[in-house]
Structure 1
Amino acid sequence: MFLLNNNALHRRPLDPIDAETLGTAGADTVERFLAHRDNHLATPLHAFPALAGELGLGAIHIKDEGFRLGLGSFKALGGAYAVFRLVLEEAERRLGRPVDVADLDRPDVRAVAAGMTVACATDGNHGRSVAQGAQLVGAKAAIFVHAGVSEERIAAIARYGAEIIRVDGNYDDSVRQAAEVSAEKGWTVVSDTSWPGYERIPGLVMQGYTAIVREALRQLPQPPTHVFVQAGVGGIAAAVAGHLAIVLGEARPTFIVVEPARAACVVAAARAGRVVKVAHDQPTVMAMLECYEASPVAWRVLARVADAFMTVDEDEAVAVMRRLARPAGGDPAIVSGESGGVGLAGLIRAVTDNSAALGLDGQSRVLLINTEGATDPHRYTELVGQSPADVLAGKVPVGALS
């Protein structure tokens, strides 16, 4: 499936609230918060000249979020950041004085945090970020996990002291239950998807992701001409596309959203011109992207600043995991989880099927984001045929040279 953005809002300015959330001032705030994280480092940006030559492109760069804040995914930037912001706002209200990120370890601020419970639904990575953020500030966390979340991912969340609440059904079912239970118990929902009347906190989560774009633009030798980013509910895609549109203006790159064919809720929104729920059929191997209804806030941004929408199949996602683990021509190896390399899968498909429509040629400079490392190491090893450690160590699997 490939669809150019023919929505009436395409290339119109962002809504003022979204421009404020995803703009320069918001990104400045994110960087100020990150400076207070003990393990914050900019994630690496890798050049892939051999792959670019093979695909007939000028350059390919991949921003590798597998190293982000010890959580192995870009989600580390969103959930924890939103938790920090919400705790500080509540402390400011209760204490009656200004409170900033430097005050998070003050006893009076931690006493406020100790009385708060933050909650969310997750496919795995967002829940880890919320749980980690809660642990760091001294709040409690309740994380709702649906039937498709692997035991390894659940254990990784529980390690941060979160209460795990299991939900029958899929991600969208867990979102609903998290909202209902939290309303009953007075918990604060820190969701990465939005719904009518609930937009500010998902906006804060998206704001956290702007750090990826800001780092990448500093690391790149030239701004990209094309950006392919994968989508679940659309938050990361909207954050990247929105920030690029604000800081680069008319020079912004062509932006393509990539989804699993089995869970293409953003494509469905693009086709309908509004958020719609797609049917749940077979689960997708791209577990972190298995969402069946786009976030309205994310769609509001993408309707304006995404240029095309496309899907990839199951085998394409697994093929890029293996390709990144065993690159050709001296390109670097990257550990990419089931959902991490979906943007690359989209690029490979687009070069074959849609290069003219997207203006992909020998002058194109493409930016991709590896959104997760091996957040489920056992599943990664099953799919790739190598452990994450062996990939990073450059070990060649048995039979690969035969």
Structure 2
Amino acid sequence: MFLSNRHSDYHMPLDPADAETLSVKAAEDVERHLLHRANHAPTPLRTLPILAAELRVGAVHIKDEGFRLGLGSFKALGGSYAVIRLVREDASRRLGRAVDIADLRSADVRAIAAGMTFACATDGNHGRSVAQGAQLVGAKAAIFVHGGVSDERVAAIARFGAEIIRVAGTYDDSVAEAAQVAAARNWIVVSDTSWPGYERIPGLVMQGYTAMVREALRQLPRPPTHVFVQAGVGGVAAAVAGHLALVLGDRRPTFVVVEPARAACLLETARAGRPVKIEHGEPTVMAMLECYEPSLVAWRVLRRVADAFMTVDEDDAVGAMRRLARPAGSDPAIVAGESGGVGLAGLVCAAADPGSRVALGLDEASRVFLINTEGATDPERYADLVGMPPDDVATTTKGADA
């Protein structure tokens, strides 16, 4: 399914609040925060010339977030950043002085953090980020997980000392339960999706993702002409598209939002022209993207700066995982989890369809940027789908990486 953006806000400037959230100044604050993280390092940019030739485009570059902050996912940038920002802000109010990132180890700030509990719902990766952020500052974390979250991913969250609260139903059910319980217990919800009256904290989560875009723009030899980014509720897609639009202006790339066909809440929202909650159906293998209602903040951004919305099928996603694990020729191998290669799956589908190529202006001169949003965050599941364990996937660069 492919749908061009026809919203009346398309090509309009970002809402002022979103422009501030996703601005260069805000991204610089995130990067300054990262400099104080012990295991921070820019994630690699992979270049795949053989794949580009196969798809009849000029270049394919993939930002590999499987190496991000020890969590193996871009989500490490969002939830933990929001938690740390909120602790700094609360400590500043209570201590009557500005609390910088360098002050987080001080006894008075940690005493304040110890009385704070951060809650969220998760498919796995966001919960790990919130739990890690809470552990870093000495706060508590309560993570709500629905029935579709694997035991491996739950255990990965629990390793950061978080309380795990299981919820029957879908991700959206866990979001509702987290909000209800947190309100009753005076916990702070750090969600990566937003709803009426709850926008600032999801905005901080999205702000955290802008650091990934800043890194990529420094690593790329030239700005991309096309970007394909996967979406669940839309947070990372909106952060990437919005920041690129602000930085590149009229030179911004054509931006395509890619979703599972079984959980395409943004495509259906774009079709309706307003936020749509879709029916829960058969689960998708793209577990991190199995969301049935869009983030309001993300939609507000995407309706202005996304050029198209498309879906991919289950086999497309698994095929992208396998293609990245077993590259052709000199292309580097990449470990991409079930949701990590969905942007590539979208590019492959679009490149093979003459109508989509024309609609998007894809040709032999196109420079395509993708994000591998997660590595093998569930190694057993990865091995089942790819046919080999992630540790056996070669990561040789052969001079093709930045």
TM range (shorter): over 0.9
Q: Which residue of 2 aligns with 1:355?
A: 357
Partner of 2:137: 137
1:344 aligns with 2:344: yes
SS at match of 2:196: coil
Report the equivalent of 2:242: 242
SS in 2 for 1:335: coil
Deviation at 1:385, TM superposition (A): 0.5
Alignment length (residue pairs):
394
- CA positional deviation for 1:330: 1.2
- 2:378 is the counterpart of 1:376: yes
* Aligned counterparts of 1:140 and 1:280: Cα–Cα separation in 2: 32
Runs of 4+ in 1 over 3 A off after TM superposition: none
Aligned-residue offset at 1:329: 1.5
1:33-182 aligned within 5 A: 33-182=33-182
How far does residue 263 in structure 1 lie from its aligned partner after superposition? Answer: 0.2
State how far apart, in whole Å, the 1-side matches of 2:370 and 2:262 are.
Answer: 22
Contact 2:115–2:139 (Cα < 8 Å) also in 1: yes
How far is the alpha carbon of 1:96 from its aligned partner?
A: 1.2
Distance 1:393 1:235 in 2: 29
Please give the alpha-carbon distance, in whole angstroms, between the structure 1 residues aligned to 2:50 and 2:352: 17
Residues 232-241 or 272-281, more deviating: 272-281
CA distance in 1 between partners of 2:236 and 2:326 (Å)? 26
Question: In structure 2, what is the Cα distance between the partners aligned to 1:177 and 1:14?
Answer: 31
One-letter identity of the residue aligned with 1:262: R
Deviations 1:153-200 (A, max 9, x none): 000000000000000000000000000000000000000000000000
Determine the structure 2 residue equivalent to 1:220: 220
2:19 aligns to what? 19
Report the TM-score, using the length of structure 2 for normalisation.
0.97
Distance 2:98 2:204 in 1: 19
Say which SS state the counterpart of residue 135 (structure 1) adopts.
helix
What is the rounded CA distance, in whole Å, between the counterparts of 1:176 and 1:391 in structure 2?
A: 39
Pairing 1:211–2:211 present: yes
Instruction: Give the partner amino acid of 1:388.
Output: P
* Residue 393 (structure 1) shift: 6.1
Deviation at 1:15, TM superposition (A): 0.2
Any conservation in 1 of the 2:66–2:375 contact (CA below 8 Å)? Answer: yes
CA distance in 1, matches of 2:225, 2:292: 30
Whole-angstrom CA distance in 1 between matches of 2:55 and 2:98: 53
SS of the residue aligned with 2:376? coil
Match in the other structure for 1:399: none
Q: Deviations over 1:331-354 (max 9, x none)?
A: 000000000000000000001121
Say which SS state the counterpart of residue 285 (structure 1) adopts.
coil
**1:392 aligns to what SS in structure 2?**
coil
Q: Is contact 2:320–2:345 with CA below 8 Å preserved after alignment?
A: yes
Alpha carbons 2:333, 2:395 under 8 Å: kept: no
What's the counterpart of residue 279 of structure 2? 279
- Per-residue deviation, residues 229-258 of structure 1 (Å, max 9, x unmatched): 000000000000000000000000000000
Partner of 1:390: 392
In the alignment, the residues of structure 1 paired with residue 309 and residue 220 of structure 2 have an alpha-carbon distance, to the nearest angstrom, of: 24
**Amino acid paired to 1:291:** C
CA deviation profile, 1:262-304 (whole Å, cap 9, x unmatched): 0001101101111110010100000000000000000000000
- Partner Cα separation in structure 2 for residue 40 and residue 258 of structure 1: 28
The 2-side partners of 1:393 and 1:318 are apart by 19
SS at match of 1:118: strand
Partner of 2:400: none
- The CA distance in 1 between the partners of 2:221 and 2:64, in whole Å, is 17
Post-superposition shift, 1:24?
0.7
State the match for 1:335 in structure 2: 335
Structure 1 residue runs of 5 or longer lacking an equivalent are 395-402
Structure 2 unaligned segments of length 5 or more: list them: 397-402
CA distance in 2, matches of 1:216, 1:93: 35
Distance 1:303 1:392 in 2: 39
Contact 2:334 2:395 in 1 (8 A): no
The SS at the match of 2:105 is coil
Deviation larger for 265-274 or 152-161: 265-274
How far did 1:392 drift?
3.2
Q: Pairwise mapping of residues 174-193 of structure 1 onto structure 2 (< 5 A)? A: 174-193=174-193
Equivalent position of 1:28 in the other structure: 28
SS of 1:379's equivalent in the other structure is helix
Quote the residue 2:399 is aligned against: none
Match for 1:50: what amino acid?
I
User: 2:34 & 2:265 partners in 1: Cα distance?
Assistant: 31
Q: Secondary structure at the match of 1:169?
A: coil
Distance 2:225 2:85 in 1: 34
Q: Give the secondary-structure state (helix, strand or coil) at the position aligned to 2:180.
A: helix
Alpha-carbon contact 2:76-2:125 (below 8 Å) kept = yes
* Contact 2:332–2:395 (Cα < 8 Å) also in 1: no
State the one-letter code of the partner of 2:368: V
What secondary structure is seen at the aligned counterpart in 2 of 1:69?
coil
Q: CA RMSD in A?
A: 0.6
**How far does residue 308 in structure 1 lie from its aligned partner after superposition?**
0.2
Q: Distance in 1 between matches of 2:395 and 2:175?
A: 38
1:196 equivalent in structure 2: 196
Q: Deviation string for 1:99-119 (max 9, x for gaps)?
A: 110100000000000000000
Identity rate of aligned residues, in percent?
Answer: 75
The match for 1:266 is 266
Residue identity matched to 1:154: V
Q: In the alignment, what sits opposite 1:306?
A: 306
